[in-house]
Amino acid sequence: MIPPTFDYLVPATLPEAIALLHEHGDEAKVLAGGHSLIPAMRLRFAEPSHLIDISHIPGLDYVREEGGFLKIGTMAREVVLEDLPWISERYPLLVDTTKMIADPQVRNLATVGGNLAHGDPANDHPATMLAYRAEIEITGASGARIVPIDEFFTDFFTTALEHGEILTEIRIPIPPSRSGGCYLKVERKVGDYAAAAVAVQLSLAADGSIEQAGIGLTNVAALPTRAVDAENALRGQQPSDALFAQAGQLAADASSPADDLRGSAEYKLTLIRELIQRALRRSVERAQGRS
Amino acid sequence: MSKHSITIEINGESFTQEVDSRKLLIHFLRDDLALTGTHIGCDTSSCGACTILLNGKSIKACTFFAVQANNQKIETIEGVEQGGQLHPLQEGFHQEHGLQCGFCTPGMIMRGKELLEKNPNPTEEEIRWGISGNLCRCTGYSNIIKSIQYAANKLNEKQEEAA
């Protein structure tokens, strides 16, 4: 379990980090919290020639509301989201998600950006960012570009990040009033990857009907999955158990889980059907200010 | 492979040493500095036996390179006792029988330390969530929770006396 050899580089600025990525080719990797990369290196699934540690670059660990977005800097660690009371109040889906990731020691180091950039469909933030309709800021030598989350995950463990680029910011549109969300995950034990998990973000119209719905699914396909048909079925409707059951079925239809140690495909589809209904109920309660 | 000269403050003492970039912090502590109180359990960041404090925050030393700790402050179980006096957490684990084989104990105590610093009056549930990254295969956890509660009470008493 000793990782392969590599060169370790500590840039002082973002442009310097990007220049190092270009200089050292596609065997160079960015090191942020390291809690996906270092385990992969120890198992020799990843053998980067160079690690470019961005954790000492000042000013990348912010979490703030600005210009209509909640902006999360690439070095913001999971623990920061748990510790900020205003995040818990205004972004319950985000905090629910963070609290289900690994354990406190891991969350002291792991970053939200890394959780996304790793491109693992078993990670928790991808589904949440799908539900929030987040945007990802990617910075390369020629400047920054914005990628909608729907275009960010391109294949199994593959994202829109090109060689020489760094994920620099996550942008979550600030939810309107009467919004609520929730993340529900079934795991075999605390800190495990999900057998299945669902992220729901809703906003209600003045008459109580569902105005907007975002639904992301974790670990039930090769890519983080948006349950588009379920979202469409909810939009414009009054919340009801029958509607939620229909959405649960549509979300299960959007899933293609595999049999593995965490359960059979059939079991995971059952989980999705049920978790969606529970998450929708709780999200509506939160949007109505009842919990 | 790159070699790096690193300087780390460990339990208040400064250490400067040359390390390979790939040397994990846990191996640096145990093999290079003979600080063997921090244990290696699962070696895959699951069990928490290697928990130490990095700038006051609990982390797993098996999933962190020694070079990443350059110019940082580390506290290990060896630094918890002060002037021959057990820390209230150590006393708690003793009084409440919070260990049997003792393998997980250094990690539990280091984790407990950050937990109580952030939340001096944790509920039982908060303690259970708080130590969810630390595995114990002997105690069934109940006595570990009592040990941390013992330490919380003791630390709060000390605080009141000082006030």
Per-residue pLDDT tens digits for A198-240: 999 999 999 999 999 999 999 999 999 999 999 999 999 999 9
Query: Tens digit of pLDDT for each residue in A99-115?
Result: 999 999 999 999 999 99
Q: For residue B111, which residues of chain A lie inside 8 Å, CB to CB?
A: 104-105
Q: Which residues of B touch A (CB under 8 A)?
A: 1-2, 4, 20-22, 24, 43-46, 48, 51, 54, 57-60, 63-65, 67-68, 111, 114-115, 129-130, 132-134
Q: For residue B24, which residues of chain A lie inside 8 Å, CB to CB?
A: 2-3
State the amino acid at position B44 in one-letter form. Answer: T
Measured CA to CA, the distance from residue B82 to residue B66 in angstroms comes to: 25
Looking at domain A63-171, which of 3.30.465.10, 3.40.50.300, 3.40.1350.10, 3.40.109.10 is its CATH number?
3.30.465.10
Check CB contact under 8 Å for A103 and B133.
yes
Check CB contact under 8 Å for B133 and A191.
yes
Q: Is the pLDDT of residue A25 over 90?
A: no
Q: For residue B114, which residues of chain A lie inside 8 Å, CB to CB?
A: 104
Query: Tens digit of pLDDT for each residue in B125-143?
Result: 999 999 999 999 999 999 9
Mutate to test the interface with A, among B4, B59, B126 (most CBs of A within 10 A): B59
Check CB contact under 8 Å for A105 and B58.
yes
Residue A26's pLDDT is what? 87
Q: What is the CATH number of domain A7-53?
A: 3.30.43.10
Q: How many CB contacts within 8 angstroms connect chain A with chain B? A: 80
Confidence band, pLDDT 50/70/90 cuts, at residue A290: confident
Q: Which residues of A touch B (CB under 8 A)?
A: 1-8, 31, 34-35, 38-39, 42, 51, 53, 55, 79, 102-106, 108-109, 190-191
For B53, the closest chain A residue by CA position comes to: A105
Mean pLDDT across chain B: 96
**Domain spans in chain B, listed from the N-terminal domain onward:** 3-79, 88-162
Measured CA to CA, the distance from residue B93 to residue A139 in angstroms comes to: 49
B21: nearest CB among A6, A35, A108: A6
Give one word for A217, left, alpha or beta, with left for phi > 0 and alpha for psi -120 to 50.
Answer: beta
Average pLDDT over every residue of A44-67: 97
Give the CA distances from residue A268 to residues A273, B75, B146, in Å, rounded to whole numbers and listed in that order: 9, 43, 37
What is the CATH architecture of B88-162? Orthogonal Bundle (1.10)
Q: Are B41 and B138 in contact (CB under 8 A)?
A: no
Where is B30: in which H helix or E strand? none
Helix extents (H) in chain A: 14-24, 37-42, 78-83, 85-90, 92-99, 104-109, 112-117, 125-132, 228-234, 241-253, 265-287
Mutate to test the interface with B, among A79, A98, A103, A188 (most CBs of B within 10 A): A103
Q: Is the pLDDT of residue B18 over 80?
A: yes
Topology of B3-79 in CATH?
A: Ubiquitin-like (UB roll) (3.10.20)
**Domain spans in chain A, listed from the N-terminal domain onward:** 7-53, 63-171, 181-287
Q: For residue A34, which residues of chain B lie inside 8 Å, CB to CB?
A: 63-65, 68
Check CB contact under 8 Å for A39 and B63.
yes
Helix extents (H) in chain B: 25-27, 88-95, 105-118, 124-130, 142-162
State the amino acid at position A235 in one-letter form. Answer: R
Rg (CA), chain A: 19
Share of chain B above pLDDT 90, in %: 93
A105: nearest CB among B2, B59, B65: B59
Give the CA distances from residue B122 to residues A86, A172, B119, B126, B128, in Å, rounded to whole numbers and listed in that order: 21, 32, 6, 6, 10
State the amino acid at position A148 in one-letter form. Answer: P
Complex prediction ipTM: 0.97
Alpha-carbon dihedral angle through residues B64, B65, B68, B70, given to the nearest 10 degrees: 120
Residue B1's pLDDT is what? 61
For A3, the closest chain B residue by CA position comes to: B22
Confidence band, pLDDT 50/70/90 cuts, at residue A291: low
User: How many CB atoms are closer than 10 A to CB A102?
Assistant: 23
Instruction: Write out the CATH class of domain A181-287.
Output: alpha beta
Q: For residue B60, which residues of chain A lie inside 8 Å, CB to CB?
A: 105-106
User: How many CB atoms are closer than 10 A to CB A46?
Assistant: 17
Answering whether pTM is above 0.90, one says: yes
Per-residue DSSP letter, A221: S
Residue B2's pLDDT is what? 87
